[in-house]
Every structure is written in C-alpha cells, then in structure tokens.
Structure 1
Amino acid sequence: MGMNMVKLPTKKADLFLRVAKGHFATSHSHINYYIDVTMQKTRLSEARAVARELVSAYKATTIVDTVLCLDGTEVIGACLASELTRDGFVNMNAHQTIYIVTPEHTTGSQLLFRDNTTPMITGKHVLILAASVTTGYTVQAAIEAVKYYGGMVAGLAAIFATVKECEGYPVASIFDPNDLPDYQTYDSHECPFCKAGQRIDALVNSYGYSKL
C-alpha cells in the first residue's frame, strides 16, 4: 500500500515533486509533508535533470574535485560530476576527474572516511550533495567531516531544501519552501500533531517511508 501522493509541478517542466501530507516522524523531527525523492535518486532521466538544474547554481569558477553523496544520492552525484566536467568547471586534482564518495556513518551519526577514501577529501574541494536539507543536521555533520579530514567545502546542493544556507554556505536546491508554502518541521517534543493526539502516519528517512 502506497501513501496518497500528489505531484507538485515546479519551474522545470521535466521535474515535479511527489508529496504526501500528514504527520511524519524523521530521526530528527516531525514534519507535515513527506517529500518522496526516490525517482530523482534512482531514475537516470530525472537524476540527470536534477544535476543539470543544480549545476546552474554554480559558476565555472567554482572548483569541485569531489562530490560527497549523502542520503543515497550517488546516481545524481555521478550525473553532477558529468555535468561539472562537461561544462568546463575547474578541478585541481592530478587526475583531472571528479571523485564520487559516500561516507560511512558511526552510531553517533558522525561521518567516517576510510584510509582509501580520505585522499579524495583531504586537500580537495568537496561539493556536498543531499536529498533534502530541512533541519540541516545531516549536512552539518558532513561539513564538519570534510573540514576534519582537511577538505574545503565547495558548496551544498540538495533536491529539496527549506533553508537558503547552512553553516554560512548557500544551499542550492531544485525545490524550495515556495513550492510547498505550508511545509512545517517540529521538534518531536513540540509537535502540535502529537499534542493533539494525532497518530504518526509513517516513519520516514532518506530511504523512504514505513507506514505505521
């Protein structure tokens, strides 16, 4: 059984947002919309369209050596790397290519890079790519990790974002709160749905949703 998804059009004819309204719980917060970005992450045509749109937010002077993929965005990351190399963006690494890296997560939600992937971060200009940036916790952890391993943050990109910047870095996204003006995120202890006794419809994370 799927949820009652509706499609929201956006400025891009070949991209739309699949959303369900309700009471949803993430690991960090409670939200009133579930935004399903599965197709953008897994369908090549949509991933390409996302990458093309995100690249337009960056100037050719932006240096990108590595795309750090969070939330299962590796397909988009590969398309993004392809766009960045095609459009003549500069990269500084010796191989004149772009690395696509996925971090490991420790139990404390910190990001970890192994010895074989660390050279793709250390001294590199890293573009952080996420499925969504709402509370910003995931992206903050990524920024901290990039800096800890001696990398430089080249930018933040996401499919969906409710914030314009995170830790002082601008967030480039395809969809923004203007596409969903009544989108709300609440701390789990302050959630008005919970206070009103309204049951949670589903647990959601970057992999999808599980109805309760």
Structure 2
Amino acid sequence: MENNLESRIVKINSRTSSGVTLKVIPGHFATNHSHINYYIDMTTLKTRQSEAAAVAKSFVNKYSAITVVDTIVCMDGCEVIGAYLADELTRNGVQSMNQHKTIYVISPEYDSTGQMIFRDNIQPMVRGKNIILLVASATTGKTIRRCLECLDYYGGKVEGISAIFSAVSYIDGIEVDSIFQEKDVPEYNTYSHVDCPFCKKGERLEALVNSFGYSAL
C-alpha cells in the first residue's frame, strides 16, 4: 500500500514562492476531524533545511507592517520553519520586546486528555507576548481554533496565522496567510465521515493521516 501511495504523488510548485513545492496524493484518507480526498505531504518542507528556509522567506512579507513579534508558536512539527522565520523577521527589522531582544520559538504540549498546555517554564513566553501561529495545514480550522483558545487562556496575543496549505481564509476573524490554497490542489475536498462520498460508495479508507504523516490501512 505504501508503494502504491508513493507512486501517485503529484508535485505542485508555488506560484509565488521560489523553492517551495507541495506533494499531494489523491485517495481516500481520514484525519482526526474529517475525511479528505488528498493527502498533503509536507515532510521535506518541514525537515529539509533548504525547503524550510524557503517556506520561512515566503511568510516574511505578511508581517512587514508588524513592528513587534515576541514568540512563534509552531504546530504540526514546524519548528525548523519557525526558527528560520524568526531569523528572517529579525533580518527584516521586526523587533522583539523580550528581555534578550530575540524571538522565542515554542510548541504546545498535549496532556493525557488531548488538551493543549504550556508548562510553567514556557508560559512566560506566551503571557503578554505578540505571537505568530505557524501551522503546516488548516483543513477545517478546528485544530487552529483550539490553539487560539489555548493561547488566549495563557494570555497571548495572536498577531497572525501562517500555514503552508489552508482550505480556509479566516479563523475566528484572523486571516490565514498561506502559500497554497484549496484552488492549488485540483478538486480538493474535506468531508465529515457522515457525508463522505467515498464511504457512501463503500470505498475503504487508504490511510490515517495527521501532522506526522500517514499510516496505510
């Protein structure tokens, strides 16, 4: 099954960001929140140095008008991109109000119930800070909404949301700045498990997918 999925990879080059290529696989997949007809593979964009740096550069212009960024909160394994983004923001004159005049790059933790938390030693990097939320993808927006609620609880101020791919333009009134949108992936769709047309036709799921990758069934 794995070889079958890999053989169906389609590469989509960004129209605006040099060196950023999205890999997608058509099929029938399930996330925690929905069923989707494309698995979007961002493994190398998040882990390969040159690609992570290119993704970070593409996000910088979004924040050119922002004078202060204190913290970048990374979801979906985007810490490498987050580090490069912090460097690019600093190079472009975006300042930090942190004591050491540099940007924090952090990620939330999940407790045993699946609730997002920040430990006591990390909370000062959130409380009262100007934050960029960095995610790999946003399909329904549920995970981002949970993170926004978490950041609000800990006293953070979200200045912007950046995603490599997003099927939504706004979440709770905040614009989602993305390199790739739904229109870039032909016929991309997300469904509830009740309304999934593949399930209605009796077609089996091919894989379970999340921010770490996929597990073929």
Using the size of structure 1 for normalisation, the TM-score is 0.96
Structure 1 segments of 4 or more deviating over 4 A?
none
Aligned residue among 109, 115, 131 for 1:126: 131
Aligned residue among 81, 88, 91 for 2:86: 81
In the aligned structure 1, how far is the partner of 2:121 from the partner of 2:97?
Answer: 19
In the aligned structure 1, how far is the partner of 2:187 from the partner of 2:176?
Answer: 20
Aligned residue among 29, 36, 44 for 2:41: 36
In the aligned structure 2, how far is the partner of 1:70 from the partner of 1:173?
Answer: 14
Cα offset for 1:196? 0.7
Q: Give the length in aligned residue pairs.
A: 212
Provide the residue aligned with 1:7 in structure 2.
11
The residue matched to 2:58 in structure 1 has which SS? helix
CA RMSD of the aligned region, Å? 1.2
Aligned pair 1:90/2:95, yes or no?
Answer: yes
The residue matched to 1:85 in structure 2 has which SS? helix
How big is each residue's C-alpha offset from its partner over 1:17-49, in whole Å with a ceiling of 9 and x where there is no partner? Answer: 100001000011000000000010000100000
What pairs with 1:8-23 in structure 2 (closer than 5 Å)? Answer: 8-11=12-15, 12-23=17-28
Aligned pair 1:141/2:168, yes or no?
Answer: no
Cα offset for 1:111? 1.0
C-alpha contact (below 8 Å) 1:128/1:157 kept by paired residues: yes
Provide the residue aligned with 1:189 in structure 2.
194
Aligned residue among 171, 180, 184 for 1:166: 171
The residue matched to 2:152 in structure 1 has which SS? helix
C-alpha contact (below 8 Å) 2:18/2:54 kept by paired residues: no
Unaligned runs of 5+ residues in structure 1 are none
Provide the residue aligned with 1:153 in structure 2.
158
Cα offset for 1:57? 1.5
What pairs with 1:104-115 in structure 2 (closer than 5 Å)? Answer: 104-115=109-120
Aligned pair 1:46/2:51, yes or no?
Answer: yes
Provide the residue aligned with 2:30 in structure 1.
25
Aligned-residue identity in percent = 52
C-alpha contact (below 8 Å) 1:21/1:34 kept by paired residues: yes
The residue matched to 1:56 in structure 2 has which SS? helix
In the aligned structure 1, how far is the partner of 2:71 from the partner of 2:100?
Answer: 12
In the aligned structure 2, how far is the partner of 1:29 from the partner of 1:128?
Answer: 22
